[in-house]
A and B are shown apart, each in its own frame.
Chain A
Amino acid sequence: MSLQFVVDGLLTGSMIGLGAIGVTLTYSILRFSNFAHGDFMAWGTYATLAVVSAIGATFGKVAPIAPLSFGWPLLVALVVGMAFTALLALLLDRVLFSRLRSQGQAIIVVMASFGASMALRSLLEFTFSSRPTYFSRAIQIAMPVGFGIRITPDQIALLLLTAVLVLGVHLLMTRTQTGRAMQALSQNAALARIVGIDVASVVRVTWIIGGALACVAGVMIGILVQIRPFMGFDMLLPMFAAAILGGIGSIPGAVLGGLIIGLAEAGAVQLIGAEWRAAVSFIILMAVLFVRPIGLFGVRER
């Protein structure tokens, strides 16, 4: 068996993990499963694509940053896309989730997120059609790095970007007052208010982080695979699997869960066949939960 699955798995795992951070934060702080999270990814990606096109129309053709397949327009567009996705998440919370949340029934919010997911996806299909599209059609040559592994410069750059973002979010959660407020809110919402935490502002930060990272995950998929309206929805199950596997509420857990699922899927494709990839990751999920029901980094509710 070739070790190539390690690179493929890490890349898939990065996309899943970045998405799973948003899922796990929403679940632990707002206490509902947001099924529209995958569609935040897709919307972020299309927004980024739109900005790339707009820059292209304004500045003409921009040479890529060698040896990558993309140039500064994509980086600028990514930042705009992240902001756009964060705003989209805030808007959806304002008009939909926050109203239902105040009525106190989690299942209604979950169902609403399912509806929002379908609506968002259909809007994308309506606007951009369901035909796959790409940031760049340039073919990158994968470099051999030993042990039979080949990797493209784009892939290296995206793995590094993931590592930086995950480290950043982890530090934000553990070292800053905002992060401590988020932890506090997830552990005891009433006490969080008593100690002076403004719940509404923490909720906003949660959506901003989740939305921005969903956009990055989507753009990664767009660069490495392709852009489709269903691109995010198809990631939903692996993202939830990663969040649960890692332990709900844990940022490192969500990322590790994502990497495990990604590696398992890539390994399964090589060993058993592509049609088994989803099955293998869920068998791993079930096996871990059987031994440790709270997930790898999870903590028991007290």
Chain B
Amino acid sequence: MSEAVLDVRDLEAGYEPGVPIVRGASITVRKGEIVVVLGPNGAGKSSFIKAISGLVPITGGTVFLDGKDITAAPAHTMVRLGLAFVPQTENIFPLMSVEDNLRVACGILERREIPARMDEMYAAFPDLVRQRRTAAGNLSGGQRQMLAVARALIVHPKVLVLDEPSAGLSPKFVSMVFEMLAGIRKSGVTILLVEQNAKAALAIGDRAYVLVEGKDRHEGVASELWNDPVVAELYLGQRPSRASKGGAA
């Protein structure tokens, strides 16, 4: 087994003190892996990776990136530490051009390195080249997602963290996004991914965790989890039929 790039131990996090959303979740992401975090609605998946990225206050536990404790690091220092986060929505600057969306993320790069790095991103995402002067808000859903990922990759992150990259996309774009992520992993980037679309995510993932009520409840090899009865139970167990009638919040 290769070394852990991201190691999260007993993480507790939440927006309000005394109201944790993440309640003692632990995961490990090893170099070169795609790790998927699954879970029913409201399991705290999104808050979990936002907490790792410095966007939700952490109240307990630790986050290690490449052996370095980044638990208390403010969000704006994360890219410098090597963690690049792609939010689920509003993950581009709509009024800035595609080019400026990429350039604005280059703050931590050496000035002379930037043009080459921009070219590399354009080579990896040829759709963006044709649109480089377009305001990012005018891009299609799939292109926006590409831009958001390119912007995260441009700073050579040690780990790329994505919050439901397929959410809100049409089926055509969903498969495009997952192909893109598989391609990015091939180029050597480690990926941590939260997804609702379990089937597609497990198809490209190496390992997966199931998060329930803010805690990691199950871990396994991605290709085996789809047929794992424990996973089905964890999902279904979270959704009793009375809840869907508007009982529990």
Determine if A299 and B75 form an interchain contact, defined as CB atoms under 8 angstroms apart: no
Closest CB in chain A relative to B85 CB, distance in Å:
5
Q: A183-B96, A196-B79, A302-B94 are in contact. Are A190 and B104 (CB under 8 A)?
A: no
User: Does B206 interact with chain A (Cβ within 8 Å)?
Assistant: no
The residue of chain A having its C-beta at the shortest distance from the C-beta of B90 within the complex is A188
What's the Cα separation between A44 and B74 when bound, in Å? 35
Expressed in whole angstroms, the Cα–Cα distance for A28 and B80 within the complex equals 27
What B residues does A191 contact at CB under 8 A?
87, 90-93
Contact pick for B85, options A177, A180, A181, A194, CB 8 Å: A194
A193 at the interface (CB under 8 A from B): yes
* A302 lies within 8 A of B93 (CB): no
Interface size on B, residues (CB 8 A): 29
With CB as the reference atom, state the residue of chain B lying closest to A177: B107
Q: Cα distance A195–B105 when bound, in Å?
A: 5
- Interface members, chain B 59-85 (any A CB < 8 Å): 74-80, 85
Q: Mark A199-214, 1 if CB is under 8 A from B, else 0.
A: 1000000000000000
Is residue A197 contacting chain B, with contact meaning CB distance below 8 A? yes
B232: Cβ under 8 A from any A Cβ: no
Number of A residues contacting the other chain (C-beta, 8 Å)? 19
B27 lies within 8 A of chain A by Cβ: no
Q: Answer whether residue A149 sits at the interface, using C-beta atoms and an 8 A cutoff.
A: no
Most buried by B among A188, A193, A196: A196
Known A-B contacts A191-B87, A196-B155, A302-B137; the reply to A183 vs B78 at CB < 8 A is no
User: Which residues from chain B contact A194 at a C-beta distance below 8 Å?
Assistant: 53, 55, 75-76, 78-79, 85, 87
Of B87, B96, B100, B107, which contacts A196 at CB under 8 A?
B107
Decide if B151 is an interface residue (CB 8 Å cutoff): yes
Q: Chain B, 37-63, contact with A by CB distance < 8 Å: what is the 0/1 string?
A: 000000000000000011100000000
B104–A180 touching, CB < 8 Å: yes
Judged by a CB distance under 8 angstroms, whether B108 is at the interface is yes
Chain B residue, CB-CB nearest to A174: B100
A197 nearest in chain B by CB position = B76
Set of chain A residues within 8 Å of B107, measured between Cβ atoms: 177, 181, 195-197
* Bound CA span A183–B94, Å: 10
Q: Known contacts A177-B107, A184-B104, A190-B55; is A196 also within 8 Å of B80 by CB? A: yes
The answer to the question of A133 belonging to the interface, with a C-beta cut-off of 8 Å to chain B, is: no
**Which residues of chain B are near A195, meaning CB under 8 Å?**
79, 104-105, 107, 151
**Which among B76, B79, B90 has the highest number of chain A CB atoms within 10 Å?**
B76
A4 proximal to B (CB < 8 A): no
With beta carbons under 8 angstroms apart, the residue of B53, B93, B105 that contacts A188 is B93
* Residue B156 lies at the interface, judged by CB distance under 8 Å to chain A: no
Interface string of B93-112 (1 = CB under 8 A from A): 11110001001111110000
> CA A197 – CA B77 in complex, angstroms?
8
Q: Is A98 an interface residue (CB 8 A)?
A: no
A88-108 CB contact bits vs B (8 Å, 1 = yes)? 000000000000000000000
Assembly CA distance A199 to B54 (angstroms):
14
Q: What are the interface flags for A163-202 relative to B under an 8 Å C-beta threshold, 1 for contact and 0 otherwise?
A: 0000000000000010011011001101111111111000
Chain A residues close to B by CB (< 8 Å): 177, 180-181, 183-184, 187-188, 190-199, 299, 302
